[in-house]
Every structure is written in C-alpha cells, then in structure tokens.
Chains A and B, each alone.
Chain A
Amino acid sequence: MAAMTREETEALIQEVLEVYPEKAKLDRAKHLAVNDQSLEKANKCITSNRKSLPGVMTIRGCAYAGSKGVVWGPIKDMIHISHGPVGCGQYSRAGRRNYYVGTTGVNTFGTMNFTSDFQEKDIVFGGDKKLAKLIDEIEVLFPLNKGISIQSECPIGLIGDDIEAVAKVKKKEHGKTIVPVRCEGFRGVSQSLGHHIANDAIRDWVLENRDGDDSFPTTPYDVAVIGDYNIGGDAWSSRTLLEEMGLRVVAQWSGDGTIAEIEKTPKVKLNLIHCYRSMNYIARHMEEKYSIPWIEYNFFGPTKIAESLRRIASHFDETIQAGAERVIERYKIEYEAVIAKYKPRLQGKRVMLYVGGLRPRHVIGAYEDLGMEVVGTGYEFAHNDDYDRTIKEMGNATLLYDDVTGYEFEEFVKKVQPDLVGSGIKEKYIFQKMGVPFRQMHSWDYSGPYHGYDGFAIFAKDMDMTINNPCWKNFKAPWKTEAASDAVKAVA
C-alpha cells in the first residue's frame, strides 16, 4: 500500500471516530492527529495526558506501576514493598525484564515480590503496624538489603495510613534508607504521575544523602545514565559505548542500578537522559540544585547513536570527542554489515507503533536505518513536550494517536495495513490473530538488548525474523487460497 495523503489520513480518523457517541467522539478527536512537520508545537494538533474515557479499552497503567514497576523496581539492592493487597505486585512481578547482576534473595532483590498482603482487618484497622513488622522481618531475613522503599497501592491512600511516620521510625531504628512513596494507583491519569512521584521521592529521601561528603573521588569525565531500565540488557550495551569513548559511568538509573550509585549522582558532570518522560524531573532538579547539565540522547540505530555520541562528546574536551569518533569508526564495519544483510529484506516495510513514553519516537531512526518507514505512532502516557519532540521525527501525513483505544488501534491497523505492529503484550495476540506480524516493544519480546550497536544487530534480526516469517503465508486455509486446485476445493 502506498503512503497515505493528508486527506486520506484525516478521512480515516473521521471514519474510525464514527462509531462513538457524540461526546466521546469530540473527546477522542482531540487525541488523534495527522502529523504535520511544519508545526513547532504539538498542542496545536494533539491533546495528551488527559483522563481516559470510561467505557473504552485504554492500554494505560497506574501510578503504582509507574513508580514500583518502572522507576524504583530496578534498583536492585533495595527491597521494594508493594504495600497493600497482594495482586498489584504479584501480577507484575519480574515482568519487565530489567536485567541485573547479583544473587537474587541475598544481595539483590529485583525479581522478588515483597508485599504486605492486606486483608480485610488491615483495611479496617489500618496497616501501619503490619508495615513496621514487615520491615523488621525484612531486616532479619535479608540483612544485605541496602534500603527499603514502600510503594503504596490504592488502599493506602484510601484508608489514610501514615507510612511516612513508620518510615521515619524504622529508618532510625535500622539505620538504613527507608523511602515512603505515595504512588497510589488512583493518582493521576496514567503511570506518568507515578514516575513523577517516584522522582520526587528520590529527590526528597535519597539524593541528598551524600551532600557535603567529598570522599568519593571524581573525574572530569563522570556521567550518569538516567532513564535506562536495562530491558534485556539495554543499559549494558549503552554503557560500553560511553566507556569506550572515555567517559566514566558513575550511575545507572535505574536498570541494574544500586542506591549507592543514585547517591553519587549529584557528583557527576553531565546527566544523560534516555527516557525523558520518566526521569526528566530529577534531571531538572539536579540541574537546579547541583548545576549538573543534562542532555537527551538516543541509542537506537546507528544514525541516532552517532548523532548522540557526538552530542554527548561536545560537552567534553577533545579526548572525548576523538573517543566518540573512534567508537563510531570501530563499529562501522559491524553495523554496515547488519544493514547490508537486513536492509534488502526489510526495505519499504511499514510499521505502526504504540508504546509508552519514549520508544514511539526513539526507535523511528532504527527502523529508518533498515529502510523501513514508521507510518503511525502513539504514546500511552506522553505529555505535550513528548509530542513536540515527535513531530519532527515522523513523516508528514502519518498518523499520531494518543492513549489509543483498543478499537481505534485495531481499525487503524486494518485500514493502514502495516507490515509490522510494535506494541505491548495486551495487543500482541489480537494482531497476530489478525495475521499482522507483531513485536513487543516494551519487553523486546523476550529478546534484546536493542540499545547501542550490539543492540541494533539484534533489533534488525528480530524484525526480519518476525516480518519475513513463513507462517504469515500460511494464514489462509489451503483450500481458501487462490492457488488451491479445483480438486482440493471440491473436497472441501
């Protein structure tokens, strides 16, 4: 199918909106747009970060998911208590694939689920005592933990427990960092507020711990990687590039990260932000309080990697700048071979994305490096500033959809007929059953890493293996295909 014109895309949006009742139609219309590269600001064409409509299938998560699942969860040497009923933590346990090194249950706790398992009596009489007891038990059973965070689930805010008080008392008693996080699921419109609350909790309870302590020897080349959650090892394949160009990565936020790294971050020279949506708050805070500048970068696909390496290097002296060139040169043979192998197989294929807060724009470059085209993209929980950054990345007259509903997404895919859809697990089987090749772009479909030059090779292989998989040709029953002989049809 050829690229759609602006009018066709607009007509498609109108057609999809048709089924909604009048009020819902008005509301949803604001969230669907045709991209126009000439716009400077996204608020002219699309509305975002609004409450989802009751009655439609939204794909969003809750504030607890944003805080526990995304920001705090990967900090591996802390224990994160899912405070409240058991389900919120148990059903999301270890699902995000943030890799880490360490011995789980001894000095790292990433894939375990700690919960206060609220029962009726805790809701009626309050759960503070239980929380205090739980913290004491943790100290006995897992003495090597470096700190505890209390991640509130919905009921905590509803019954008015004072987790801050418990945290303060226990912090004194055990001499460890204990962080109460008010990330009850009902706050805000999506997981995005959870990220913000989590950032604020780090700011208030952790970041200042080493202020005034200069015992940590610094170098002029210290940086922190912020907003990389090490999905399938992403942060590792990014970190090696930075180190190769001569920088010293002091902290990883928060994939494979530790609380000590977070405490040392105020001593770095530059903060590198990968996921802008979930961690720009803390970067802005550090810029203001510690005068640490921050920049956004993108490690998906060789074009963007080279651009980012050079941009990062421009904040340092010539040795680092030469280092960046050296890194780009060194991997050139590798990534050119990847492109030579996969581009002919993927050239011209069209992709539709619908992911969280960063990848809908960040992976576009990687697809383009493979000769593919992203014809529609959208975010679950982006804000205006994310769409501002998206407009220039996307082609003209492509589709933008914010907080897309299950129905809209299906209709768009039916009409646009992309060769690949990239979204999450909830969407995967719907589209696979429709016969559309699909990749999970949250968890990399149990593959990864996708960041960095090493990641690009895996990315390219995965996309090829999905799109060119022979199974898509066998979707129709043999007797229903054109080629089936009359004899076969007669038998059928």
Chain B
Amino acid sequence: MPSVMLRKREDGKLLFYVAKKDLEETIESMEFDTPDKWGGEVVLGDGSRYYFEPTSPPPKIPTTLQAKRL
C-alpha cells in the first residue's frame, strides 16, 4: 500500500506521486468523482491501476492517501 501524494497540475489534472517508487503520473480516470463520493479505481497515464478507498466528502487536494495497487 504505497502512500500517494496527490496534487493538481497547472492544467487542472491530478498528479499521482509516489516518492518511494519515483512515480509521477497523471490520473486519467477515476471511478467516483462526485461531490458525495470520491475514490475507487483510478487509471494512471502509464496504464497502471490503483484503488483508493472511496470517501465522502472528497479529500482536500493536495493530500497524501494510501492506495492499493491493482
């Protein structure tokens, strides 16, 4: 379960950063992204998939969250 730092890029895209793995990728799609449910499966720019425990309300970005690798 890597700790993932999430931040917004200048163009509004979410960046997914794992310091330990040196991974800096954009989040291309997210299962739930509405004001009352956020998280689920995400697909990154390189095609790899991770899973965030869905939360409500959405977290305040930037933040660090745990993600599961799928």
- A→B interface (CB under 8 Å): 40-41, 43, 49, 196, 281, 284, 287-288, 291, 295, 383-385, 388
Q: Is B63 interfacial (CB 8 A cutoff)?
A: yes
- Known A-B contacts A281-B19, A284-B5; the reply to A385 vs B24 at CB < 8 A is yes
Q: Which residues of B contact A388 (CB under 8 A)?
A: 24
Are A288 and B24 in touch, CB under 8 angstroms? no
A233 vs B5: C-alpha distance when bound (angstroms): 34
Which residues of B sit under 8 angstroms from A385, Cβ to Cβ? Answer: 22, 24
Query: 10 smallest A-B Cβ distances: which pairs?
Result: A383-B22, A385-B24, A288-B62, A384-B22, A287-B62, A284-B5, A41-B46, A288-B63, A49-B22, A287-B7
B20 (CB) vs chain A CBs: closest residue: A196
Dominant secondary structure at the A interface: helix
Selected from A43, A49, A196, A284, the residue in CB contact (under 8 A) with B17 is A284
Distance in angstroms from B19 CB to nearest chain A CB is: 7
Q: Which residues of B contact A295 (CB under 8 A)?
A: 10
For the complex formed, measure the closest distance between the CB of A190 and the CB atoms of chain B, giving whole angstroms.
Answer: 13
The CA-CA distance from A393 to B33 in the complex, in Å, is: 35
B23 engages A384 (CB within 8 Å): yes
Complex: how many Å from CA A43 to CA B46? 10
Q: Among residues 28 to 49 in chain B, which have CB atoms less than 8 Å away from a CB atom of chain A?
A: 45-46
Kindly list chain A residues whose C-beta atoms are within 8 Å of the C-beta of B64. Answer: 288
Q: Is the CB of B5 within 8 A of A288?
A: yes
Contacts of B23 in A (CB 8 A): 384
Closest Cβ of chain A: how far from B13's Cβ, in Å?
13
Contact indicator B19/A196 (Cβ below 8 Å): yes
A281 to B24, CA, bound (A): 13
Q: How far is it, in angstroms, between the C-alpha of A291 and the C-alpha of B60 when the chains are bound?
A: 10
The answer for the CA separation of A388 and B23 in the assembled complex, in Å, is 10
Query: Is the pair A41, B7 in contact by a Cβ cutoff of 8 Å?
Result: no
